[in-house]
A and B are shown apart, each in its own frame.
Chain A
Amino acid sequence: MTMLTTDLKRLGEVKAPAGFAGRLLAHVGMADSYARFETVLGAVYVAWNRQGVSGAARSASAAEFEAWFRKDVGRQLVAADAPPDLAAKIEDELEGRRRLRFDLRGLTPFEQAVLRKTREIPRGETRPYGWVAREIGRPAAVRAVGTALANNPIPYFIPCHRVVRTDGHIGNYGGGGPEAKRAILSMEGVRVAHLQELARAGFRYQGVKTTKVFCFPTCHTGRHALEKNIVWLRDEASARAAGFRPCKVCRPAAVA
């Protein structure tokens, strides 16, 4: 080997610039971009691609978020500058104005249905797991709904924290455990302690005597009822027996 051919060989060992592969994969739509956003919930890492937002987590570090996304969503992540309007959209979304599009392609049709239904739950309200199951036409799949919500790749934005157990337990939460779930619900205006007291006492619905309508306790339609007109109801049968019909907005039972 001469000096020249040795040098040429070394030229062949030059490395591509850092991040080359990631940028390339993002370009063909095989990697998602991500950035860290300061929000009302603190720092949240958010991933996105051309379809929409594809993942979110309050990870401790960028590396942790990348590893989680790779494992959970199955694509690579590339750190990027956020599109100019994304921070504002994220802020709006967390304040209850729906402005984001989501990419749920990697999920099963059932999981997608669960998450889409969950997104309909207004800020400041909660629904039981069984409600989601019934609303998507799979009333027996309550546990599967729980699993789908536990695997929600876009917590906070798809508000799986608003789905709770009917027995008063706040339920598990993939976005940071039951404490985080309670904190986020409180921040959104849910009276969590009150809700749990009711559930423990066996009351699941609020009836309003003047309208003869029963609702989930957090439903906004029943919020302005006078205290003296409110009755607490244990189940659908006793509510109907007492002459109440289910609210058409929060749909605590199938509306006939």
Chain B
Amino acid sequence: MPYGDWKDNEYIEHLVKELRDNGTNVIVGTFDKLINWGRSNSIWPLTFATSCCGIEFIALGAARYDMARFGWEVARASPRQADFMMVAGTIVHRMAPVVRRLYDQLAEPKYVIACGGCAVSGGPFKNSYHVVKGVGEIIPVDVYVPGCPPRPEAMIYGIMQLSRKIKVEKFFGGVNRQEKINRFLNEHPIKETPEAAQQQVMEEQH
């Protein structure tokens, strides 16, 4: 895809501008480029789906859409080895701690794509008593892909946006992402109930 076609994302354009304004050291910049080239071209998803969007994610892997073309087909079942988490489907109250734990288990650099209306905002179930109104409430989201469920093309576009976002990161000399994530996580702490803390102590004793 030519660069011009990408210029429709104000957020990323802003990031690019920020980077260019401050300028970087040549050596550090070259390393950054190399690392970002590697990272942005090798985004491994976590096999994670809760509902309808998951089926479209399978379709994305299948022959017609074939995400293997971009090197995304190495879906890892273990969060330790995955790079991004496609939150495909509704997240409900009971699932929320699990999603958060999965996010915490991902190894840095980690990214989140909220895929589908439910993950973006709660979708058709927004008014329900048991639905989280957007996964952005519990984990920091990098890319939102709307749709119910989004077509595989939309998912490809979403992951490509993520790839582009990774390209303008800095590994050396100031990470522009990490601070935001940490701020988010501090604002959304996991509140430990006394019972849970006790259980953890018991598990440790085992």
Partners in one complex: no
Please report B residues at the A interface, Cβ cutoff 8 Å.
Answer: none
Please report A residues at the B interface, Cβ cutoff 8 Å.
Answer: none
